[in-house]
Amino acid sequence: MRNRAMPGFGLSLGITLAWLGGIVLLPLSALAWKAGSVGASTWWAQIGSRRVLYALQLSFGGALVAAAIDVLLGLLLAWVLVRYRFPLRRVCDALVDLPFALPTAVAGIALTALYAPNGWIGRLLQPLGVQVAYTRLGVLLAMVFVGLPFVVRTLQPVLESLEHEVEEAARTLGASRWQNFRRVLLPMLMPTLLTGFALALARAVGEYGSVIYISGNLPMRTEIVPLLIVQKIDAGGDTGPAAVLGAVMLAASLLVLLTVSLLQRWNRRWMEVG
């Protein structure tokens, strides 16, 4: 191959494979091996337990709903940030990165302080009979918080590069604003929206720090799967039960990762055809 003329192939391949193998692949295969060797009874004891089932339901169900909310809010934010000019736009744009950069434990206690019954927002919601902290709603809120930047940052470059001509053509042909959005923009943005959804979903499913304070961790009510994994490790002794739940989480993230890469391939083809 012509490219081989550039020196450094062996060294860069060596460093990359050693680092990737030692830090990522070896530990992940230890998880697969452990989860594979514990036997059906341990699997059944975990996956069949009602407490775990509730947590799985909340982790995956909550993350799906949160990612859907993120898509709506993220579309609004990305649209406004890309298309309109208004005071504080740069500040808003910078703040979108906050959930990426704020340590999750800090986000967790901050959200709890805000939404606790005596908090700034919790106090306002109390008379309305809405309680967020220590309920499933609180879990959902934390998941929405951590997933939001993924949707906005995925959408922004695509919105910036969209051909204005297509929209203008549609408008010239008499399309209303809503028709324009519904029939022209939305189909063009669909692969990107789905990518953002999948990324937000992956983050929300695995999130730990932001969720565990506001959730209150009530068994069968507001426990998430990562919390159960931590509890099972902290209990000491056999790591099998934790490995089983870890394997479920890992399988889910691999599935989401695969979906994202397929979506991006679809997106690329879309862009090339378009």
Nearer Cβ to other proteins (135/204): 204
Based on the shown chain and the rule CB under 8 A, indicate whether residue 53 belongs to the binding site for other proteins: no
Based on the shown chain and the rule CB under 8 A, indicate whether residue 186 belongs to the binding site for other proteins: no
- What span, in angstroms and rounded, lies between the C-alpha atoms of 135 and 71? 23
Selected binder of other proteins within 39, 48, 117, 157 (CB under 8 A): 157
List the alpha helices (DSSP H) in 116-239: 122-125, 136-161, 164-172, 177-179, 186-206, 209-215, 225-234
Nearer Cβ to other proteins (153/221): 153
* DSSP secondary structure code for residue 185 in this structure: I
Nearer Cβ to other proteins (26/53): 26
Selected binder of other proteins within 52, 56, 58, 107 (CB under 8 A): 107
CB 2, min distance to other proteins, A: 9
Structure tokens at 47: 């996956």
- Please measure the distance between the N-terminal and C-terminal CA atoms of the chain and give it in whole angstroms: 33
Based on the shown chain and the rule CB under 8 A, indicate whether residue 44 belongs to the binding site for other proteins: no
- What span, in angstroms and rounded, lies between the C-alpha atoms of 151 and 171? 27
Part of the chain binding other proteins (CB under 8 A), chosen from 46-54, 131-139, 201-209, 215-223: 201-209
What is the total count of residues that contact other proteins (CB under 8 A)? Answer: 102
- What span, in angstroms and rounded, lies between the C-alpha atoms of 175 and 116? 47
Based on the shown chain and the rule CB under 8 A, indicate whether residue 174 belongs to the binding site for other proteins: no
